[in-house]
Structure 1
Amino acid sequence: MKSVRISKGKEKAVKNHHPWVFSGAINSAIGQPNQGEVVKIINSADQFLAYGYYNKSSKITVRAIEWNEETKIDDNWWKDRITQAITRRKSLLTLEDTDSVRLIYSEADGIPGLIVDKYADFLVMQVLTAGVELQKKLITDHLYALLKPKGIFERSDAKSRSLEGLKPSNGLLAGEMPPELLEINENGLTFLVNIADGQKSGYFLDQRENRKIAAKYAKGLSVLDCFCYSGGFSLNAHKAGAKSIVSIDSSALAIKTVKQNYKANQITFNENDLIEADVNATLRRFQTEKREFDFIILDPPKLAPTRATVDKAQRAYKDLNLQALKLLQPGGLLATFSCSGGIDIDLFKQIISWAALDAGKELQIIEQFNQPSDHPIRTSFPESEYLKGLLCRVI
């Protein structure tokens, strides 16, 4: 097997089972490994550290996948790793009110660059690394044999593929094409998912449990759902008995999807309460109009995709929360989220406290939101933790 030698003093992360080996930690590549090929990772004394797949085009040049030297990385290894990930989610696959979950979560499940989501009877696969790209057919065939879905669709169009030297790749991999709008169930509600053109793999499965938790507080309240996308928080709040719901998103497609989801659940809605507009500008307009809400939900897109953008993101998160807090009176609730990996929960709490101070509000944190169990956090890979949120009460 071809090898990659780690420079002396740079092997600690690999020894600690962190899967990323950056180009700066590599002394040499032995045997001219090909893109995506599995290599042996060795230290400066040529001692075994791990196996991983190699990609000279990426700053993360090797992705470690196995630390037992006796283990053979063959077809059975891939099949076993996939089966193990799905088995760990067995309890989620039998839920009565939910039929859509994440089955494989990349590094957290020991397969860097592979994401597989189950939407009702279809699977959506994202291939984000060269190592997984080489095994795409094997993975597809095994998933199809194991789960017998109606079809497997690929949505490998994330920007991170370009960092691996890979082109976007979308389309049917096995079985039949999903319908243009696939009907799924979440928390007893119906949602229509556009697998081919929707964000991420079609829907934000990672907020499933948080939507349910937040909805518990919505009964009898006027709710403002910002960055509503397909209306997950809005519909859960309606089911819980919210008095009124205003949903905002800058995307016309998002607002159209919210309407479709209301209709799919036979929910009567007011067209004026579905607003296609910039959230920040709308929050300021509502202040001018002296509007107030009992419960505001902020679920913005990723504002800090890298550590280099953290400072800028802090200012954006603070201003967003500041403008929302100005619309809340004592007793009002704010559910605020960050999906930026570069913003940890302690920093996020600090940002919210700064926003509250500038808004002249005193807050209590009454719930802390996390990513669900189908998006596990691997202890040797802290980067797998990205979603965090707070439910705050104005006092």
Structure 2
Amino acid sequence: MEQTPLYPVIRLNPGKEEAIKRFHPWVFSGAIHDAAEGLQAGDTVTVTDYDGNILGTGFCESESIAVKMLCFDNRKIDEWFFLERLKQAYEVRRIMRLTNQPHTNCFRLVHSEGDGLAGLIVDIYGHTAVVQAQTEGMALHLKEIVRALKLIPDLELQAIYNKSADAMQRMGKEDVVVEDGYLFGERLDEVILENDSRFLPNWEEGQKTGFFLDQRENRELVRRFAEGKTVLNAFGYTGGFSVTALKGGARRAVTVDASKKAIAAAEANLKLNGYSIEENPCYVADMKEYVTEMREGAFDLIILDPPAFAKRHHDRHRGLGGYKFINAEAIKRIAKGGLLFTFSCSQAVDKATFQSIVTAAAIEAKRNVRIVDQLSQPADHPINIFHPEGAYLKGLMLYVE
């Protein structure tokens, strides 16, 4: 029996339905044959093949990715749809033992395409959910998302904060009017726990949702190897790696970031965990300048966790140069037998390319380097197997002779 589309239709060119049939959640503008009149970014649409067979439902976009798919059937996108997806996402975190844990009370509940909700991020900090809409469609459905979140009793939410304005601007969506603020409850001055380290995330003024939850397992790895070492946390943001290195017995941790606000937060987090900021200083500095002036052998464990140098593909060439430069300088200056944890969070730089850039940096530094571990994002940042582009965080643990 032929189904009637629930929403205005976008029809694909002949043969362009194959990616959708393989459950890839993006429809590119070049795949579209025609579309219903008057469609705007954020509208919910039904996607069909050239012959009118329904392929799925998604949100209209205004860029080269013309539609971000939400499901691959003819379904109403409402509060009950979001509730179903949120419950599925919560179940994954429960099975991964990330919920109701005495030593860690923060995790990512929704990771965009990885959880079948392209364009939506939800991070949990204690009893607060921080929601980030990254598409117009998600921004227009925030009320339904909030209602659905409140219907998951195991979350025990007391507040929901909307942190979408900066994300919209960062993604070039300045025309979308989204104001940050509490959609439910009010600010809770909660200390969050990550493997018993204590932090004060600032989702109101900080970057992203207030804390980089995607580095939780990598911070724990640093803790395991930090004993007795002098540590440099480069691009250190709010000091997460510094705190965990000191928890692991590091002799000293130095945090460097270009943001005064981030460094102030790093100092607060160090103090919160009982560490002296005189003995473990935090500096506001340009990391590219700092690393070139750094004394050789001053640090025997270095973390390089820069912001995305290549946010989009047209930034890729310049971004790769940035990654090569900081890695080469760090490899030149790290102590003999030092450990370097180096990362890229750029979706435009794949794992193989990142490794080749770090290899080029080691050649330039003229030091013998071993890869002793390959690092990625944790279980609460899942990668949809049909959307490999979701593997954005890649890292290497290097031993430098």
Alpha carbons 2:26, 2:69 under 8 Å: kept = yes
- In the TM superposition, what whole-angstrom CA distance separates every residue of 1:64-107 from its partner, at most 9, and x where no partner exists? 111134x5444322211121111211120122211010001111
Assess, with a 3 A threshold, how the Cα gap between structure 1 residues 34 and 246 changes in structure 2: closer, same or farther. Answer: closer
Q: In structure 1, what is the Cα distance between the partners aligned to 2:290 and 2:171? A: 34
Aligned-residue offset at 1:236: 0.5
Which residue of 43, 55, 64 corresponds with 1:59?
64
Which residue of 321, 326, 345 corresponds with 1:320?
326
Alpha carbons 2:340, 2:398 under 8 Å: kept = yes
More off after superposition, 336-345 vs 37-46: 37-46
Which residue of 348, 355, 380 corresponds with 1:349?
355
Residue of structure 2 equivalent to 1:86? 90
Which residue of 289, 301, 305 corresponds with 1:299?
305
Aligned-residue offset at 1:21: 1.1
Aligned-residue offset at 1:13: 1.7
Q: Which amino acid letter does the alignment assign opposite residue 286 of structure 2? A: D
Which residue of 229, 238, 243 corresponds with 2:251?
243
Residue of structure 1 equivalent to 2:151? 145
Residue of structure 1 equivalent to 2:3? none
In structure 2, the residue corresponding to 1:24 is in which secondary structure?
Answer: helix
Assess, with a 3 A threshold, how the Cα gap between structure 1 residues 42 and 164 changes in structure 2: closer, same or farther. Answer: farther
Residue of structure 2 equivalent to 1:171? 181
Residue of structure 2 equivalent to 1:117? 123
Structure 1 segment 242-281 matched on structure 2, within 5 A:
242-270=250-278, 273-281=281-289
In structure 1, the residue corresponding to 2:45 is in which secondary structure?
Answer: strand
Alpha carbons 2:159, 2:185 under 8 Å: kept = yes
Which runs of no fewer than 5 residues in structure 2 stay unpaired? 1-5
Q: In structure 1, what is the Cα distance between the partners aligned to 2:27 and 2:137? A: 14
Alpha carbons 1:249, 1:255 under 8 Å: kept = yes
Alpha carbons 1:58, 1:165 under 8 Å: kept = no
Provide TM-score, normalisation by structure 2. Answer: 0.92
Assess, with a 3 A threshold, how the Cα gap between structure 1 residues 164 and 260 changes in structure 2: closer, same or farther. Answer: closer
Aligned-residue offset at 1:61: 2.0
Which runs of no fewer than 5 residues in structure 1 stay unpaired? none
Q: In structure 1, what is the Cα distance between the partners aligned to 2:44 and 2:334? A: 55
Q: Considering only aligned residues, what root-mean-square deviation do their CA atoms show, in Å?
A: 1.8
Residue of structure 2 equivalent to 1:333? 339
Residue of structure 1 equivalent to 2:391? 385
In structure 2, the residue corresponding to 1:248 is in which secondary structure?
Answer: strand
Q: Which amino acid letter does the alignment assign opposite residue 244 of structure 1? A: R
Q: In structure 1, what is the Cα distance between the partners aligned to 2:365 and 2:117? A: 44
Alpha carbons 2:11, 2:52 under 8 Å: kept = yes
Structure 1 segment 211-226 matched on structure 2, within 5 A:
211-226=219-234
In structure 2, the residue corresponding to 1:198 is in which secondary structure?
Answer: coil
Provide TM-score, normalisation by structure 1. Answer: 0.94
Aligned-residue offset at 1:283: 1.2
Q: In structure 1, what is the Cα distance between the partners aligned to 2:236 and 2:36? A: 50
Aligned-residue offset at 1:134: 2.7
Alpha carbons 2:237, 2:266 under 8 Å: kept = yes
Which residue of 35, 42, 46 corresponds with 2:48?
42
Aligned-residue offset at 1:163: 3.4
**Count of aligned residue pairs for this structure pair:** 389
Alpha carbons 2:255, 2:282 under 8 Å: kept = yes
Q: In structure 1, what is the Cα distance between the partners aligned to 2:107 and 2:387? A: 21
- In the TM superposition, what whole-angstrom CA distance separates every residue of 1:335-379 from its partner, at most 9, and x where no partner exists? 101001111111111111111111111111111111000000111
Assess, with a 3 A threshold, how the Cα gap between structure 1 residues 375 and 272 changes in structure 2: closer, same or farther. Answer: closer
